[in-house]
Amino acid sequence: MTIRLTRRQVLRSALMLGGSGLAFGAYASWVEPRFRLAIREYRISPSGWPAGLRLTAAFISDLHASEPYMSTQRIAGIVETTNALKPDIILLGGDYCGGAINKPFIGPATVAPILADLHAPLGRHAIFGNHDHNIGIASVRRAFAVGRIPTLENAVTRIETEAGAFWLAGTASALAYWLRRGGESGPEERPIVTIHGRRFRGADDLPGTLAKITDDAPVLLLAHEPDQFAQVPERVALTFSGHTHGGQVYIPGIGRPFVPSLYGERYAYGHIVEKGRHLVVSGGLGLSFLPVRALCPPEITLVRISASFAA
């Protein structure tokens, strides 16, 4: 059977497809990145996790504060929503300021006081990301110090609970120094990493960080770039990372066209388990480079950790 389409039917179909494309483009460039906010929840039972220690961690990463997508009002709303989840601990994964190309920048001195309103019984703890280095890490450190938000740069802290203690470790960015003309070169002993044509050196020291742990209590690790997970030992119960934004764009049947990682989509998003080791990669909240999110909405990541969960 042959189906013949009239000229009017062809034009109508073309207009419908074009309209659908425009509508999706408007959604991806305006609605999803600016107005959507998902709560992504995981339940994880790491190997060897103490039976009596139950922990809920809220993980916020990649705000990229800038107008109009991540305004001060939106950040304050994210803080309020996070507090309402009543987590035991709040973890901040880096890249707090600076967003999509040519968008007005909101500085760390403005962002940090808003984040200082985050509250949890076991505190809020932060690491820094590659964008924090790009805009001037000294200013970001200073703002977080003024806001009394504890930070971990290749450092650890031991956290006591009624059910037992655990260690929280945090590494510096593995892409801290962008090797562009006139920029900082970073420590020359560190290898050069090339991602999508851009060359970087890191400031991270995973072995040195973990060497600061002095007992056998379980370890949670904050590492901005999930590529660091490839070197994380079994000693670490769970690693939290951001950086990828889940690719910002997810196309069903195709995947994520752009992931800033040496491993492609391997560590792009979600709960990843390799050889018994656990990694959670948040989709993040803000935008980097292109001002678009499609089927990858901004998220607060909530992770419940226990030796077991009731059915």
Over residues 225-279, the pLDDT tens digits come to: 999 999 999 999 999 999 999 999 999 999 999 999 999 999 999 999 999 999 9
Provide CB contacts within 8 A for 238, sequence distance 6+.
44, 46, 220, 221, 278, 279, 280, 303, 305
When pLDDT is cut at 50, 70 and 90, the band that residue 8 belongs to is low
For the chain, the distance separating the N- and C-terminal CA atoms, rounded to the nearest angstrom, is: 55
Alpha-carbon dihedral angle through residues 256, 264, 279, 94, given to the nearest 10 degrees: -80
Maximum pairwise Cα distance, the chain: 77
Is residue 265 within 8 A of residue 259, CB to CB? The reply is: yes
Residues 141-200: tens digit of each pLDDT: 999 999 999 999 999 999 999 999 999 999 999 999 988 766 666 777 788 889 888 898
> At residue 9, does pLDDT exceed 70?
no
Where b means 16+ CB within 10 Å and e means fewer, 237-249 reads: bbbbbbbbbbbbb
Backbone angles phi, psi at 29, to 5 degrees: -95, -10
Where b means 16+ CB within 10 Å and e means fewer, 131-151 reads: bbbbeebeebbebbeebebeb
> At residue 18, does pLDDT exceed 60?
no
The CA distance from 232 to 238, in Å, is: 10
> At residue 23, does pLDDT exceed 80?
no
Note the pLDDT of residue 290. 83
The CA distance from 146 to 19, in Å, is: 49
Alpha-carbon dihedral angle through residues 137, 140, 141, 146, given to the nearest 10 degrees: 160
The alpha-helical segments, DSSP class H, found in the chain are 7-26, 32-35, 72-84, 108-115, 130-146, 206-210
Percent of the chain with pLDDT over 70: 88
Burial, 309: exposed, middle or buried (Cβ in 10 Å; 0-12, 13-18, 19+)? exposed
Residues 234-243: tens digit of each pLDDT: 999 999 999 9
Note the pLDDT of residue 12. 47
> At residue 4, does pLDDT exceed 60?
no
Note the pLDDT of residue 111. 97
pTM: 0.91
Half-sphere exposure at residue 262, Cβ-oriented, CA atoms within 13 angstroms: 13
When pLDDT is cut at 50, 70 and 90, the band that residue 102 belongs to is low
Among candidates 65, 72, 43, 66, which has minimal Cα distance to 55? 43
Note the pLDDT of residue 22. 60
Note the pLDDT of residue 183. 61
Q: Which fold has domain 37-305?
A: Purple Acid Phosphatase; chain A, domain 2 (3.60.21)
